[in-house]
C-alpha cells in the first residue's frame, strides 16, 4: 500500500514541485474528471427520483428530502433544519411557502405556525437509492425481448464482420494482383460517405430484399466496414510471407492458410475490431430505428427511446436503462482487452 | 528418387530479369550448393525449383516429369527457410504435423514419423513448446524436422545457418552433412558462405547476376576456376590478380610485364598465349612465399594482421594490391620493403575477358 502511494506521489523535483509535476497533475486529474465524471454522474443519477433529477444545483449522489407526517395535515411534509428568529436551531416541517417566508410547524407541536425566512432553512436530506428506476422497466417494459434482439444483432453482426473483413484483408495483404492498391483506396474512400447520404438507397435495397422489419436488415448492411478491413490488412502485412510460403510447401490450401495460419496470428487486431464492432452495433440507433417498426423487434437503444416522448421525457428510466445497456459493452472490453497484446507472428522466425 | 533437371529456366519480375537461361542437372542423392553474391538470383532459383515462383520460360523436370504447372505442394519437395518460418501459434509437434495432416495421413503414422524425426534431431524434449520458447538452434532443428517428416524427394535449404552464431553454425554444418549421408536424399542448399559450400557440397554451382558461372566439385572450383569471378569468389582470402602484358613466350614458360614494370615468369602449360596480349595472373595468397627467390617481385607492406597461426600481409606491388598469407609469425611492420617469391605458386591465367587460359 505504501509502495503504491509512493508510486503515485512521485515527483520529478525531488524536494519541491517541478513545473512538469504541476502540469502532469493538472492534466491527469482534469482528464480523470472529464472522462470519468459523466460516467459517475450517470450511474449516480440513475438512482435518483424524478424530483431529485430536476433539482438545481445537481448532485452526483442521489439524495431525497426527509418527510414527516404531522398531525392535522393530510400529506407528509418536508423537513428542514431551520434557524429560528431567536437564534435557536430546530428541525421543522414546512407547511407552505409565501414569497421568501416559509410557514413551518414543529412536528411535536403541530398547532403552532412558525415563520422562517427561506434563507434561514436547509432541507434535511439522506441518501436514498430509487431502485424502482431499475425494477419498474423490467415489469412494464419488454426489456428481456429488447435485450435479446440487441444481443442477437450485436453477436451475429460482429461474427460476420470479423469473417468478411478478415477475408478481404487477407486478399488485399497477401495476394499480388493488378489493382490491389486501388481496391484498398476505394474501400477506404467509402469512409468519406456518411450514413445519411446512403440511407435512402440503402432503405430501398433492404426493403426490396424483404428485410424490412427483420433483424437481418439491421445486421447485413453493417458487416462490411472499411475501418475493419484497414485495421486487419495493416496487421496482416506484418505477418511474414515466408510463413505463407511454408504453409504452401506443407500442402495447405488457400482456405487453410487463411483459417489456420493467418487468422490465429491476427488475433490482436481481431480483438480490436471485435470491440469496435460490439460497441458500434450495440449503440446503433438510427439504422435500427429506420428498419424496425414492429415493437417486438426493437433493439435496446430503439426501445429506450420509448421513454423519451414528445411532451414528457422520463429521465429516471432512461438513465437507469442506459446503465444497464452499458454493462455488456464494458464486459466485452474487459474480456477482449487482454488479447490486444503485441502479436506473436514474428516469434517463429530467426 | 530426386533427379532434378532445369532446361533454359528464365525468371523475370516485371522488367527485371533475374535468371537468364539456367541449365542444370542435379542427380539423385546429390548435395548441390548454390553460391554467389547477394542478389545473384540463387534464392530465386531455389524458390523456382520449389514452385513458389513460376518460371517465365524454360522447363523444370523432377524425375523426368515436367513440373512447371505442378503446385509447390505436389512436387514432393520440402523447404527449410532462412527465417525458419515456423508457425508461431502451434507447438513444435503441431508444426511437424501440419504438412502431414494436409495430406490426410492417418494419425498413427503422423505420430510415428514425428517421433522418428524428433529422435533423429534430438528435439523430443521440446515437442510441446512453441517456437517462441526455443533458442535459435532448436528452431533450426524444428525447421529441418518439418522437412524430414514429409519424406520429400529433395530438400531445399535457403541459407539455413545464416541466423546461427559462429560456433553453432560449425556444429550444425557437420550435422547437416551427417543427415545427408543418413537420408541419402537430394539436397539443394543456398548460401553466400563459401566455407559452407566447400565443406558440404558434392557439387557447387556458382551464380552471378542470374547466370551460372561454373559447376563443379569444390576442389575443381578451387584448383581450376573457369573465370576470374569464380577464382575470386572461391577461396579465403580471395585470390590476388596481377594485371600485365605478355612480353615473351617460350615453349615451357612465358614472361609477363606487370603494370608498374616488374617482370614475372609463369608456366604456359598448354595454353595458347600471344606475345603482346593483355593478361591477368591469379595467385592465391597462401601460395606466395616471403623472401627473395627465383621468381620474385618487390612489394611494400601496408598492413600486417597477425593471427597467431598465420600472418596476413596487405602489400603493394607497384600500385597493385596483393594479399599474402604466410604461415607462422613474422616480425614485419607497415612501410617495410619486402620481396615476394612466386616460384612454387600455381599461377592461374585469365585473358582480357576474364576467362581461364
Domain with A287 in it? 134-348
Domain ranges of chain B: 4-233, 240-350
pLDDT at B250 > cutoff 90: no
Do residue A349 and residue B79 have CB atoms under 8 angstroms apart?
Answer: no
In a domain, A310, yes or no: yes
Distance from CA of A174 to the nearest CA of B (A): 14
Q: Of the candidates A248, A251, A348, which has its C-beta nearest B88's C-beta?
A: A348
For the segment A320-329, what is each residue's pLDDT rounded down to a tens digit? 888 888 888 8
For the segment B282-327, what is each residue's pLDDT rounded down to a tens digit? 999 999 988 887 788 889 999 999 998 999 999 998 888 999 999 9
pLDDT at B109 > cutoff 90: yes
Do residue A249 and residue B72 have CB atoms under 8 angstroms apart?
Answer: yes
**Residue numbers in A near B53 (CB within 8 A):** none
In a domain, A54, yes or no: no
Domain end: A127, A150, A171, which one?
A127
Give the mean pLDDT of B174-187.
90
Distance from CA of A8 to the nearest CA of B (A): 35
Q: Of the candidates A243, A261, A347, which has its C-beta nearest B132's C-beta?
A: A347
Residues A143 and A218 in one domain: yes
- Residue B87 to residue B99: CA distance in whole angstroms: 11
Q: Of the candidates A243, A252, A265, which has its C-beta nearest B85's C-beta?
A: A243
In a domain, A177, yes or no: yes
According to the CATH classification, is domain B4-233 in 3.20.20.140?
no
C-alpha cell read off for B310: 598465420
Q: Of the candidates A252, A264, A349, which has its C-beta nearest B84's C-beta?
A: A349
Chain A neighbours among B 158-217 (CB < 8 Å)? Answer: 163
In a domain, A55, yes or no: no
According to the CATH classification, is domain B240-350 in 3.40.1260.10?
no
- Residue B255 to residue B244: CA distance in whole angstroms: 10
- Give the CA diameter of chain B: 76
Residues A218 and A304 in one domain: yes
Residues A28 and A106 in one domain: no
- Residue A149 to residue B335: CA distance in whole angstroms: 91
pLDDT bin (cut points 50, 70, 90) of residue A66 is: confident
Task: Give the model's pLDDT for residue A348.
Answer: 57
pLDDT at B21 > cutoff 70: yes
Do residue B52 and residue A265 have CB atoms under 8 angstroms apart?
Answer: no
Angle in degrees, CA A234, A257, B80, rounded to 5: 100
pLDDT at A183 > cutoff 90: yes
pLDDT at A314 > cutoff 90: no
Give the mean pLDDT of B91-96.
94
Residues A339 and A321 in one domain: yes
Domain count, chain A: 3
Residues A199 and A335 in one domain: yes
Residues A185 and A217 in one domain: yes
Q: In sequence order, what DSSP letters do the residues of B34-68 get, joined into one string?
A: EE-STTSSHHHHHHHHHTSS--SEEEEEETTEE-T
Return the CATH number at A302: 1.10.3720.10
ipTM exceeding cut-off 0.85 for this assembly? no
Closest residue of B to A255, CA-based? B102
Domain end: A81, A109, A127, which one?
A127
Preferred mutation among B80, B94, B98 to probe A, highest tally of A CBs within 10 A? B98
> Quick check: B135 contacting A, CB < 8 Å?
no
- Residue A83 to residue A121: CA distance in whole angstroms: 6
Tracing cell 535459435 back to the chain, one arrives at: B136
**Residue numbers in B near A176 (CB within 8 A):** none
Do residue B85 and residue A260 have CB atoms under 8 angstroms apart?
Answer: no
Residues A285 and A152 in one domain: yes
Q: Which residue has the higher pLDDT, B248 or B149?
A: B149
Task: Give the model's pLDDT for residue B228.
Answer: 92
In a domain, A58, yes or no: no
Asked if A236 and A273 touch (Cβ cutoff 8 Å), the reply is no
> Quick check: B308 contacting A, CB < 8 Å?
no
**Residue numbers in B near A347 (CB within 8 A):** 88, 130-132
Q: Is-cis flag, bond preceding A64, omega within 30? A: no
Distance from CA of B202 to the nearest CA of A (A): 25
Residues A68 and A20 in one domain: no
For the segment A130-149, what is each residue's pLDDT rounded down to a tens digit? 888 888 877 777 778 888 99
In a domain, A50, yes or no: no
C-alpha cell read off for B78: 520440402
Q: In what order do the strands lie in the sheet with B240-249?
A: B263-267, B253-258, B240-249, B278-283, B348-350
> Quick check: B85 contacting A, CB < 8 Å?
yes
CB-count exposure of residue A36 (10 Å: 0-12, 13-18, 19+): exposed
Mean pLDDT of chain A: 86
Return the CATH number at A83: 2.30.30
Distance from CA of B160 to the nearest CA of A (A): 10
Residues A152 and A174 in one domain: yes
Do residue B88 and residue A265 have CB atoms under 8 angstroms apart?
Answer: yes
User: Among B96-100, B167-171, B197-201, where is mean pLDDT lowest?
Assistant: B167-171
Cα distance between the two ends of chain B: 39
Distance from CA of A180 to the nearest CA of B (A): 16
Asked if B34 and B190 touch (Cβ cutoff 8 Å), the reply is yes
pLDDT at B342 > cutoff 60: yes
Do residue B73 and residue A250 have CB atoms under 8 angstroms apart?
Answer: yes
Distance from CA of A238 to the nearest CA of B (A): 14
pLDDT bin (cut points 50, 70, 90) of residue A345 is: low
Residues A315 and A190 in one domain: yes
Residues 6+ apart with CB under 8 A from B238: B232, B323
Residues A85 and A208 in one domain: no
Residues A100 and A154 in one domain: no
Give the mean pLDDT of B279-283.
91
Amino acid at each position: 500500500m505504501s509502495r503504491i502511494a509512493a508510486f503515485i506521489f512521485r515527483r520529478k523535483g525531488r524536494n519541491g514541485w517541478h513545473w512538469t509535476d504541476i502540469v502532469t497533475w493538472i492534466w491527469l486529474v482534469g482528464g480523470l474528471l472529464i472522462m470519468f465524471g459523466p460516467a459517475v454522474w450517470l450511474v449516480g443519477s440513475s438512482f435518483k427520483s424524478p424530483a431529485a433529477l430536476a433539482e438545481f444545483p445537481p448532485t452526483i449522489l442521489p439524495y431525497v428530502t426527509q418527510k414527516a407526517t404531522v398531525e392535522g395535515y393530510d400529506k407528509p411534509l418536508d423537513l428542514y433544519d431551520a434557524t429560528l428568529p431567536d437564534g435557536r436551531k430546530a428541525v421543522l416541517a414546512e407547511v407552505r411557502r409565501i414569497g421568501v417566508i416559509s410557514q413551518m410547524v414543529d412536528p411535536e407541536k403541530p398547532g403552532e405556525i412558525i415563520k422562517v425566512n427561506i434563507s434561514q432553512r436547509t432541507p434535511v436530506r439522506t441518501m436514498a437509492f430509487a431502485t424502482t428506476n431499475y425494477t419498474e422497466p423490467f415489469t412494464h417494459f419488454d426489456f428481456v425481448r429488447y435485450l435479446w434482439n440487441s444481443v442477437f444483432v450485436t453477436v451475429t453482426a460482429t461474427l460476420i464482420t470479423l469473417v468478411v473483413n478478415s477475408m478481404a484483408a487477407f486478399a488485399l495483404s497477401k495476394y499480388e494482383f493488378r489493382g490491389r492498391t486501388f481496391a484498398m483506396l476505394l474501400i477506404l474512400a467509402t469512409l468519406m460517405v456518411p450514413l445519411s447520404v446512403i440511407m435512402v438507397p440503402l432503405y430501398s435495397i433492404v426493403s426490396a430484399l424483404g428485410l424490412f422489419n427483420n433483424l437481418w436488415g439491421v445486421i447485413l448492411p453493417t458487416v462490411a466496414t472499411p475501418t475493419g478491413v484497414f485495421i486487419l490488412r495493416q496487421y496482416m502485412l506484418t505477418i511474414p510471407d515466408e510463413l505463407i510460403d511454408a504453409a504452401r510447401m506443407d500442402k495447405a490450401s488457400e482456405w487453410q492458410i487463411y483459417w489456420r495460419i493467418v487468422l490465429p496470428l491476427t488475433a490482436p487486431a481481431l480483438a480490436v475490431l471485435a470491440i469496435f464492432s460490439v460497441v458500434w452495433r450495440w449503440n446503433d440507433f438510427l439504422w435500427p430505428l429506420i428498419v424496425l417498426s414492429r415493437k417486438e423487434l426493437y433493439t435496446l437503444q430503439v426501445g429506450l427511446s420509448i421513454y423519451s416522448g414528445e411532451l414528457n421525457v422520463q429521465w429516471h428510466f432512461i438513465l437507469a436503462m442506459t446503465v444497464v445497456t452499458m454493462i455488456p459493452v464494458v464486459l466485452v472490453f474487459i474480456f477482449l482487452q487482454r488479447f490486444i497484446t503485441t502479436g506473436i507472428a514474428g516469434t517463429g522466425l530467426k | 528418387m530426386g533427379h532434378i533437371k532445369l532446361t533454359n529456366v528464365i525468371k523475370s519480375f516485371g522488367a527485371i530479369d533475374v535468371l537468364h537461361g539456367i541449365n542444370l542437372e542435379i542427380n539423385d542423392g546429390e548435395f548441390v550448393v548454390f553460391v554467389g553474391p547477394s542478389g545473384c538470383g540463387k534464392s530465386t532459383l531455389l524458390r523456382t525449383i520449389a514452385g513458389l515462383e513460376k518460371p517465365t520460360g524454360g522447363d523444370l523436370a523432377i524425375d523426368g516429369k515436367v513440373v512447371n504447372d505442378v503446385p509447390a505442394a505436389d512436387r514432393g519437395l520440402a523447404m527449410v527457410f532462412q527465417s525458419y518460418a515456423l508457425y508461431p501459434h502451434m507447438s513444435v509437434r503441431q508444426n511437424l504435423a501440419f504438412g502431414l495432416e494436409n495430406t490426410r495421413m492417418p494419425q498413427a503414422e503422423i505420430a510415428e514419423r514425428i517421433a522418428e524425426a524428433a529422435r533423429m534431431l534430438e528435439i523430443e524434449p521440446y515437442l510441446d513448446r512453441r517456437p517462441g520458447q526455443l533458442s535459435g538452434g532448436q528452431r533450426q532443428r524444428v525447421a529441418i524436422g518439418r522437412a524430414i517428416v514429409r519424406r520429400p524427394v529433395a530438400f531445399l535449404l535457403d541459407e539455413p545457418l545464416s541466423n546461427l552464431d559462429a560456433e553453432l553454425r560449425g556444429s550444425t554444418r557437420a550435422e547437416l552433412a551427417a543427415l545427408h549421408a543418413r537420408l541419402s536424399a537430394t539436397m539443394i542448399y543456398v548460401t553466400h558462405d563459401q566455407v559452407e559450400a566447400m565443406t558440404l557440397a558434392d557439387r557447387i554451382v556458382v551464380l552471378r547476376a542470374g547466370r551460372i558461372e561454373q559447376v563443379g566439385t569444390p576442389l575443381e572450383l578451387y584448383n581450376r576456376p573457369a573465370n576470374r569471378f569464380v577464382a575470386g569468389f572461391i577461396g579465403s582470402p580471395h585470390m590476388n590478380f596481377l594485371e600485365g602484358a605478355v612480353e615473351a613466350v617460350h615453349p615451357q614458360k612465358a614472361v609477363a610485364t606487370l603494370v608498374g614494370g616488374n617482370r614475372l615468369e609463369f608456366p604456359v602449360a598448354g595454353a595458347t598465349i600471344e606475345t603482346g596480349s593483355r593478361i591477368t595472373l591469379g595467385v592465391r595468397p597462401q601460395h606466395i612465399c616471403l623472401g627473395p627467390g627465383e621468381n620474385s617481385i618487390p612489394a611494400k607492406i601496408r598492413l600486417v594482421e597477425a593471427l597467431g597461426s598465420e600472418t596476413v600481409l596487405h602489400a603493394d606491388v607497384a600500385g597493385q594490391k596483393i594479399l599474402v598469407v604466410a604461415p607462422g609469425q613474422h616480425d614485419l611492420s607497415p612501410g617495410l620493403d619486402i620481396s615476394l617469391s612466386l616460384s612454387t605458386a600455381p599461377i592461374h591465367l585469365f585473358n582480357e575477358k576474364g576467362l581461364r587460359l
